[in-house]
A and B are shown apart, each in its own frame.
Chain A
Amino acid sequence: MRCSSRDGALDMYLDGELEGDEADAMRAHLASCRECAMEQERRLALSNLLRGGLVRRRAPDVLVARIRSQLAGEDASRHRPHRRTRTRLLAAGLLIAAVSGGATSLIAHREQGPSTGEQVLASHIRSLMPGHLTDVESNDQHNVKPWFNGRVDLSPSVPRLDDDGFPLVGGRLDYIGGRPVPAVVYMHRQHVINVFSWPVEDGEPAIAATSTVQGYHLVHWRDAGAEYWVASDLSVAELEQFVVLFTRSESSAATM
Chain B
Amino acid sequence: MVSYADAESSPHLHSSTNADVRAIQSSERSAINRAMAVLSREFREVIVLRELQDLSYKEMSTVIGVPIGTIMSRLARARKRLASELERHIQEAS
Contact = CB atoms under 8 A, between A and B. Distances in A.
Given A17-B57, A50-B47, A64-B53, A45 B5 contact: yes
B48 A98 contact: yes
A227 to B, nearest CB: 21
30 contacts: A7-B76, A12-B72, A17-B57, A42-B3, A42-B5, A42-B83, A43-B79, A47-B51, A49-B86, A50-B51, A52-B28, A53-B33, A54-B29, A54-B52, A67-B55, A67-B59, A71-B59, A74-B62, A84-B62, A84-B65, A87-B62, A88-B65, A91-B63, A99-B41, A99-B45, A103-B37, A104-B34, A105-B33, A106-B44, A106-B48
- Chain A CB within 10 Å, residue with most, of B44, B47, B52, B82: B52
A112 to B, nearest CB: 20
A58 B62 contact: no
B55 A45 contact: no
Contact of A99 (B28, B33, B44): B44
Nearest to A11: B76
Nearest to B47: A50
A131 interface: no
B86 A57 contact: no
Contact of A15 (B37, B41, B57): B57
A8 B59 CA distance: 18
Contacts of B75: 11, 15
Interface of A: 7-8, 11-12, 15-17, 38, 41-43, 45-54, 57-59, 64, 67-68, 71, 74, 84, 87-88, 91, 94-95, 98-100, 103-107
Given A11-B72, A53-B28, A68 B59 contact: yes
B45 to A, nearest CB: 5
Nearest to A64: B53
Contacts of B32: 49-50, 53-54
A49 B37 contact: no
B63 to A, nearest CB: 4
B13 interface: no
A58 B56 contact: no
- The 9 nearest A-B residue pairs measured at CB: A45-B4, A53-B32, A91-B63, A45-B5, A53-B29, A104-B33, A42-B3, A104-B37, A50-B51
Contacts of A47: 51
Contact of A67 (B3, B57, B63, B72): B63
A99 B48 CA distance: 8
Interface string B67-83: 00000100110010011
Contacts of A45: 3-5, 8
Given A67-B63, A71-B59, A98-B48, 8 more contacts: A11-B76, A46-B79, A50-B52, A53-B33, A67-B53, A71-B63, A74-B62, A99-B44
B20 interface: no
Contacts of A71: 59, 62-63
A91 B63 CA distance: 6
B67 to A, nearest CB: 14
